[in-house]
Structure 1
Amino acid sequence: MESLPKRNLAVLVAAQSLGGASAPIVISLGGLVGQQLSSNPGLATLPVSLFNLGLALGTLPAAAIMRRFGRRSGYLLGAAIGVVSGLIAAAGIWIGAFAVFCFGTFAAGLYASYVQTYRFAAADGCEPSERGRAISWVMVGGLIAAVIGPQLVILTRDSVSGVAYAGSFLSQAALAMIALPVLAMLHAPRPASEAAAKGGRSARQLLSSPSFLLAVMAGVVSYGLMAFVMTAAPMAMVGHGHSVDHAAHGIQWHVLAMFAPSILTGRLIARFGKERVTATGLVIIGLSGAVALAGLDVTHFYISLILLGLGWNFGFIGATAMVADAHTDAERGTAQGLNDFIVFGTVAAGSFFSGALLQTSGWSLINLLIFPAIVLVLAPLIWRMATAKSVPAP
C-alpha cells in the first residue's frame, strides 16, 4: 500500500461510509414510500428503480467530469447532488407527491454514481498486486454505511411529526453534507493531459477484448443479481407478514455482509487470484437463491440476504480488480466509465423488472432467475482459469 497515500485512503474510507449510507436508506424505504404515495401497486418499486437508473446514467458524465476537472472536484459535485437529493425526496413525502419523491431518489442515484468510483480512486497508482487490497480497504467504509443507513431509517422515520419516513431522507441529505468537507481533503492526481486522455483503445475496442469483456460481465452479474433480489426483498418480507423493522434489519444484515469481508477479500485476491474469488462469489449468490426458495420465515430472508451480500462482495470486488488489470493508464477514464455504465445500466433494468415481477409472479421466480445468469458468467470464468493453468509460464 506504499503507493497510496494514507491520507487519501482515510478520506476515501470516510467518504464511502457517508455516501454509501444513502443506498440502504433508499432501498429500505423506497418501495414502502412508493406504496404509500402511488395509487398503482405495480409502481411501488419505481423509486428504487429510478435510484439505480440515476446511478447508471450518471456514470459516464461523472467519468467525463473527473477526467476534465479531477476526482476531487467531481466528488464535491457528487456530494452536493446528494444533499439536494435528500431534500427533494423528503419534500416529495411531505407534500404527498410521488413524482417529486421519485425525482429525489433519481438524484440520489446520480450521487451514487460518484460514490461508486471511490473504489477505482483507491486503485489509481497502485501496483497490480496491491489493487485488490486497496479496493477492499476503501469498501470497508461500506461496513460503516451498513450500520449508519438502516439505523437512521429506524431512528428517524417518525422524526417529522405526521409525515412518516420524511426524516430518514433529511438524514440522507445531512450525511451528504458531512461528506463535503471530508472530500475537500482529498489530494488526487491531476487529470491526465489531453493527449494522454485520447490515448489507448476506444470503447468498442475495449469491449472486443476478452479479458475486459469477461470482467465487465462478472460485474454485471454480481451486482445485477444482488440489486435484482435486494430491490424486491423488503416488499417481499412485508408482503409475507414480516414487519418494516424486520425488513430494515434484513437490509442491514445484507449490507453488512456486502462490506464486512472487504479486508479479507483483498488478501484472498492476492493469494488465490481475482478470477477464483469472483467465481466463488457467484457460487455464493447461487446459494442465497437456494435458501430463499427453501422457505419464507424471517430466518430464510435474513440468511438469504446475508449470503447475497457476501457473494456480491467476492464477485464485485473480484470483477473490479479484473477491470483494473484490463486497461492501461491512458484508457482508465474510458474503461472505468464504460464498465460502470454497463454494470449499473443492467442494475437499473433489473430493478425495474424486479418490482413488476414480484407483483405478478412472486418471490420464488425472482430467486429462480438467479441460476441461469450465474452459469452465463461462471462457465467462461472457469474456462479462463483452466486454460490459464494449462499455458506454461514463460
Structure 2
Amino acid sequence: MPLNVWILVAAQALAMCTAPFIVFIGSIHGRLLAPSPELATLPVGLVVVGTVLAIKPATWLMERIGRKPVMLLGTLAGTLAGSLGALAAWTASFPLLCVAAVVGGTGLAVVHQYRFAAMESVSSDMAGSAAARVLLGGLVAAWLGPEIALAGGGGQAQYPFMGGWLALGAVQVLAMVVLTFGYRASGEHVRGAAVGGGRPMTAILKQPVIWAAISAAAVGYAIMSFIMTATPLSMTEIASHPLEDAKRVIQLHIMAMYLPSLVSGWLIRVVGIPRMMALGLLAYLGCVVLAFSGITFHHYLSALILLGIGWNFLFVGGTTLLPKGYQDEERFRVQGLNDLMVFGSQATAALSAGAVLAAFHWTGLLLIAVPFLVLHGVLMAIWLMGRRAPTGLPE
C-alpha cells in the first residue's frame, strides 16, 4: 500500500477517537447534565447531526481546494469540540455539551472521507483493500476513545469528564500533525475534472447499483448506531451492569467493527460484494437474536460483537461498490450524497434510540431494526437481477 494509505490509517486512529469517546460517555455525561432523562442520549445523536450538516460543505470544499486542507480543518473542529466539552463539564452546561457534540460531528464528517482518499491513492482493483486498511485505524480509536474519556477521574472527578474532553482535544492535535507532515495530495490517482462535471444526478440515481451501495452503508450504519447508542443505558439502567462492563462492551464492539478490515478487502476479491453483504445481514440478524434472548453481560457482548462485524461487511461492501456507479468527475457529488444519506440515517437512529428505549424497552428496540434489514435485502436483489455484464472487480 502507498504511504498515503498508511498516513490515513494513523490519522483515522487519532481523529476517529471522537466517535467512541462520545458513544461511551455522551449519554452518561448527558444524564448528569440534562434537564430530563429522555434527553440523555441527545449528545450522541447530535454528533451524527453535526456529521450530516458538514458532509456537503466538506465535499464541496474538497472538490475546490483539495482533500488535505479540508482534512486539517476537520482535525481543527475535533480540537474545538474537546475544548467546548471541557468547558461544558466545568460549567455543568447541557446546551454547551450538545454544541461540543455537534462540532465533534463536523470533524467526523471529514474523517469519513479518508476512505475515499485512500481508494483514490491506489489502483481500482485495490480500492476495497485500501478502504478496509483505513478503517483499521478504528481499532486504535476503539480503545483510545473510551480510555481517554476516563482521564482525570472520569465521572467521579470534581468536574465530571472534563479531563477526558481535554485529552480528546490533544489527540486531535496529534492527528493534525500526522496529516500535515505525512499526507501528499500528489499521491491521489484520479484524473482532473471540471468542477460540477459529469452526468446529472437524476441519471446517476437511476442505477440500481447506486442504491444497493448506499443502502448497504446507510442501513448498516443506522442499525449499528441505533443499537449501540442504547446499549450503555440499557446495560447500566435496565440490566444494572457496572459502568466498567459497559465500557468493555463498547470497546470490544468497536474493535469488532474494524478488526475484520484485516481480511474484508481480501474477502471482497474472493467471494464478491454480494456475498460479503449477505454475511453482514446474517451477522445483524444474529445480533438481534442474541440480544433478544437475554440481558447478561455475555448476551450484550456477543450481540455487540456480531453488530460490529455486520457493520464492517456492509460498510466496506457498500463503499467498494459505490465507485461502480460514478465517473471520476462525479465522485465528490456522489460521495457527498452517499455520506449525507448514510449519516442522515445514522442521525435519525441515534437521536431516536433513547426515546425508543424508554418507550418500548430493549426488546422492542431490537425488533424495530428487522424491517430495515429486509429493505436492504430487497435493494440488493433489485441490483443483482438488473446486472448486465461482469466488471473487473468481483461484485
Same fold (TM over 0.5): yes
C-alpha separation in 2, matches of 1:158 and 1:391: 56
Aligned pairs for 1:321-336 (under 5 A) are 321-336=320-335
Q: Distance in 1 between matches of 2:15 and 2:367?
A: 32
Match status 1:289 vs 2:288: yes
User: Greater CA deviation, 328-337 or 143-152?
Assistant: 143-152
Task: Tell me if the contact between 1:70 and 1:190 (Cα under 8 Å) persists in the aligned partners.
Answer: no
Determine which of 110, 114, 119 is the counterpart of 1:118: 114
Matching of residue 246 in structure 1 with residue 261 in structure 2 = no
Inter-partner Cα distance in structure 1 for 2:295 and 2:58 = 40
SS at match of 1:158: helix
Give the C-alpha shift of residue 194 in structure 1.
Answer: 8.7
- Which letter maps to 2:97? F
Q: Which residue in the other structure is 1:9 paired with?
A: 5
1:90 is aligned, of 86, 91, 101, to 86
Once residues 313 and 221 of structure 1 are traced to their aligned partners in structure 2, the CA distance between those partners, rounded to angstroms, is 12
Q: Superposition RMSD on alpha carbons, in Å? A: 2.1
The one-character-per-residue Cα deviations of 1:270-319 (angstroms, maximum 9, x if unpaired) are 11112221221122111101110000111111111111001000010101
Aligned to 1:370: 369
Indicate the residue corresponding to 1:231 in structure 2: 229
CA-CA distance at 1:22 after TM superposition:
1.2
Maintained 8 Å contact 2:131/2:316? yes
Q: Offset at 1:167?
A: 1.2
Match of 2:183? 186
Q: What is the CA distance between 1:157 and its match in structure 2?
A: 4.2
Quote how far apart the aligned CAs of 1:153 are.
Answer: 2.5
Gaps of 5+ in 1: none
Cα 1:176–1:125 shift into 2, 3 Å: closer
Check if 1:40 corresponds to 2:36. yes
- Which residues of structure 2 form unaligned runs of 5+? none
CA gap 1:175/1:300 in 2 versus in 1, 3 angstroms: same
Q: Whole-Å Cα distance in 2 between the matches of residues 369 and 158 of structure 1?
A: 33
Q: 1:350 corresponds to which letter in structure 2? A: A
What TM-score, normalized by structure 1, do the two folds share? 0.94
| 1:208 maps to amino acid | K
Q: Name 2:257's counterpart in structure 1.
A: 258
Query: Which of residues 147, 152, 165 in structure 2 aligns to 1:151?
Result: 147
AA at the equivalent of 2:102 = F
Partner residue in 2 for 1:381? 380
Aligned length: 389
Q: 1:286, 1:370 within 8 Å by CA — same for their partners in 2? A: no
Per-residue Cα deviation, 1:16-56 (whole angstroms, up to 9, x for no partner): 00011111110101101111001211111110010010011
Pairwise CA distance, 1:122: 0.6
Alignment check: 8 A CA contact 1:140 1:263 kept? yes
CA contact (8 A) 1:281 1:315 kept: yes
Q: Is the 8 A contact 1:279 1:381 kept in 2?
A: no
Output the CA distance in 1 between the equivalents of 2:15 and 2:200: 31
Give the Å deviation of 1:217: 1.3
Deviations 1:185-207 (A, max 9, x none): 21124998995222212333322
Q: Which amino acid aligns with 2:288?
A: G
Distance 1:17 1:260 in 2: 13
Kept after mapping to 2: 8 A contact 1:128/1:325: no
- Paired with 1:392 and 1:58, the residues of 2 have a C-alpha distance of 36
Tell me if the contact between 1:60 and 1:341 (Cα under 8 Å) persists in the aligned partners. yes
Show the 5 A alignment for 1:260-339. 260-339=259-338
Shift of 1:155: 4.2
Corresponding position of 1:59 = 55
Q: Distance in 2 between matches of 1:87 and 1:392?
A: 51
Contact 2:208 2:383 in 1 (8 A): no
**Separation of aligned partners in 2, 1:190 and 1:295:** 50
Q: Alignment partner of 2:231: what SS?
A: helix
**Per-residue deviation, 1:146:** 1.1
How far residue 355 of structure 1 moved from its aligned partner, in angstroms, is 1.3
1:221 match: 219
AA matched with 2:124: P
Three-state SS of the structure 2 residue aligned to 1:78 is: helix
Q: Give per-residue Cα distances to partners, 1:80-102, cap 9 Å, x unaligned.
A: 11100111011111101100010
After superposition, the C-alpha distances for 1:224-273 in whole angstroms (9 at most, x for unaligned) are 11011111111111112011111111110000000011020000001111
Matched with 2:14 is: 18
| Contact 1:279 1:382 (C-alpha < 8 Å) held by counterparts | no
Identical aligned residues as a percent: 35
- CA distance in 1: counterparts of 2:123 and 2:266, whole angstroms: 15
Q: Distance in 1 between matches of 2:175 and 2:156?
A: 23
